[in-house]
Every structure is written in structure tokens, then in C-alpha cells.
Amino acid sequence: MDWYWWVAAALGLAVVEIATLDLIFIMLAVGSLAGAVVSAVGGPLVLQVVVAGAVAVLMLALVRPVALRHLRQPAGLRTGVAALEGATAVVVERVDAHDGRVKLKGELWSARSYDPDRVIEPGTVVDVVRIDGATAVVLATEP
């Protein structure tokens, strides 16, 4: 029945992780779950503590750095349509609240004006505010 305590410790550590979001306490929780497994199969308390500690240290040393790299990916590494938001484009066909065309990253995109009352004429440089399906929502950079 010692495994209950290990699981309770893992749950408590997971709750603390939710509050801190630094990926330390969740790694310790995984170590506690490893201790629970050893306890459930009948391992002695000393072995439970050693396994829990070893798994926690391995998780902190090996898994946490990789997870942090993936979570804290810089904005410059955005891909797909997310990489197009904030880019500049040139209007090639008049853009209004409903329709238009812009040249964006060398490709022709359908576009509409971010400001529904604004009409943007060809040759105007615009900023891409967002991508809505296959349509670039743009805002003129020049008055």
C-alpha cells in the first residue's frame, strides 16, 4: 500500500507544476510514479527511493531541456501561415472589405482590407494582419 503515497506525491507535484509551469515539478512527479511502480511490485523502501530519485534526475537532465527548447521556440522559426502574419505585401488588384489581390512572399494571394471602410489601391505596400483561410487580411502601411 506504499504506492498510494507515491501516487499522492506525484499528484501533488503535478498540481504545483500547473501553478509554476517551469517543467521541474512534473519531472519530479514522474520520478514519484516510478517509485510507485517499484512499490506496487513489492520493492523495498530503499529501492523505491533510489528509483524515484534516479528517474527524477534523469527526467530533469534529459527530458526537461528538450521540452523547454520545443516550448520556447522563437518567433523567427514560425512556419506555414503563422510565418506570413506580420509580413509585408504589395497590392496588385484593388483591395476592399470583400476582395482584392496582393503579392505576398512571391505568391499571389486573395486579400481583403482589415479596415472595412478602406480601399487600398494597386502598388500600395500593406502589412499582413492575419491569414483567414486562403485570404490575407491586410492593413495599408502608407496613409
Do 10 and 66 fall within a single domain?
yes
Confidence of residue 75 (pLDDT cuts 50, 70, 90): low
Both 66 and 100 in a single domain? no
- Structural domains counted in the chain: 2
Write down which residue in 44, 71, 98 finishes a domain: 71
Which has more confidence, 72 or 24?
24
Residues 85 and 55 both lie in one domain? no
Instruction: Provide the pLDDT for residue 13.
Output: 96
Cell of 65: 531541456
Handedness of CA 117, 123, 127, 133 (dihedral sign): positive
Residue 131 and residue 137 in contact, taking contact as beta carbons nearer than 8 Å: yes
Digit-coded pLDDT (tens) for 86-114: 899 999 999 999 999 999 989 999 999 99
136 contacts 109 by C-beta, under 8 angstroms: yes
Q: Which of 71, 91, 111 is the last residue of a domain?
A: 71
pLDDT in the model for residue 76: 59
User: Which pTM was predicted?
Assistant: 0.54
What's the average model confidence in pLDDT over 45-49? 96
Q: Per-residue pLDDT for 80 more than 90?
A: no
Contacts 24+ apart (CB under 8 A), 10-16: 10/36
Instruction: Verify that 86 and 58 share a domain, yes or no.
Output: no
Which residue would you say has higher pLDDT here, 78 or 82?
82
> Both 135 and 114 in a single domain?
yes
- Domain housing 111: 80-140
16/40 same-domain check: yes
Q: Which of 25, 45, 71 finishes a domain? A: 71
Q: Are residues 44 and 102 in the same domain?
A: no
Question: In CATH, what number is assigned to the domain containing residue 108?
Answer: 2.40.50.140
